[in-house]
């Protein structure tokens, strides 16, 4: 199983809502990532988790709150978002953050629209 599964595929939320994005992998990977991709732009790294601990936060606003409850799951909690946060949110995983010679597997993303 080389899949990274993201749910939901689409999400529409109001600016006062609280919602969560979910990501799951069963490859035994110990590194998991959140990327954000605006329309017609490349993906941009948001967070890196290594062995269930947050190792990189790319200066992401606090209205985005990541969580890694176990080695297979990664959540992104959303609160008080702005319309400009509308984007495709991608989750990825890799064996760990220490090996350069290893690829990352991406999920299909959650397309988020903030209204």
Partner 1 sequence: DAKTTQPPSMDCAEGRAANLPCNHSTISGNEYVYWYRQIHSQGPQYIIHGLKNNETNEMASLIITEDRKSSTLILPHATLRDTAVYYCIVRVTNAGGTSYGKLTFGQGTILTVHP
Q: Which residues bind partner 1 (CB under 8 A)?
A: 4, 31, 33, 42-45, 48, 50, 55-56, 88, 90, 92, 94, 96-101, 103-109, 111
**How far apart are the C-alpha atoms of 37 and 54, rounded to whole Å?**
20
Strands 110-114 and 10-13: parallel
Q: Which is nearer to partner 1, 98 or 115 (CB)?
A: 98
**How far apart are the C-alpha atoms of 41 and 55, rounded to whole Å?**
25
How far from 38 is each of 10, 26, 41, 71, CA to CA, in Å? 15, 28, 5, 28
Q: Which is nearer to partner 1, 63 or 111 (CB)?
A: 111
Q: Which is nearer to partner 1, 48 or 68 (CB)?
A: 48
CB of 53 vs partner 1, minimal distance in Å: 12
CB of 108 vs partner 1, minimal distance in Å: 5
**How far apart are the C-alpha atoms of 11 and 8, rounded to whole Å?**
7
CB of 80 vs partner 1, minimal distance in Å: 27
């Amino acid at each position: 199983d080389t899949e990274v599964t993201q749910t939901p595929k689409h999400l529409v939320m109001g600016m006062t809502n609280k919602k969560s994005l979910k990501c799951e992998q069963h490859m035994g990977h110990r590194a998991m990532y959140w990327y954000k991709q605006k329309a017609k732009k490349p993906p941009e790294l948001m967070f890196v988790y290594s062995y269930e601990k947050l190792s990189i936060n790319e200066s992401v606003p606090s209205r985005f709150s990541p969580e890694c409850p176990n080695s297979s799951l990664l959540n992104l909690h959303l609160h008080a978002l702005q319309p400009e946060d509308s984007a495709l949110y991608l989750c990825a995983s890799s064996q760990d953050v220490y090996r350069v010679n290893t690829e990352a597997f991406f999920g299909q993303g959650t397309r988020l629209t903030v209204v």
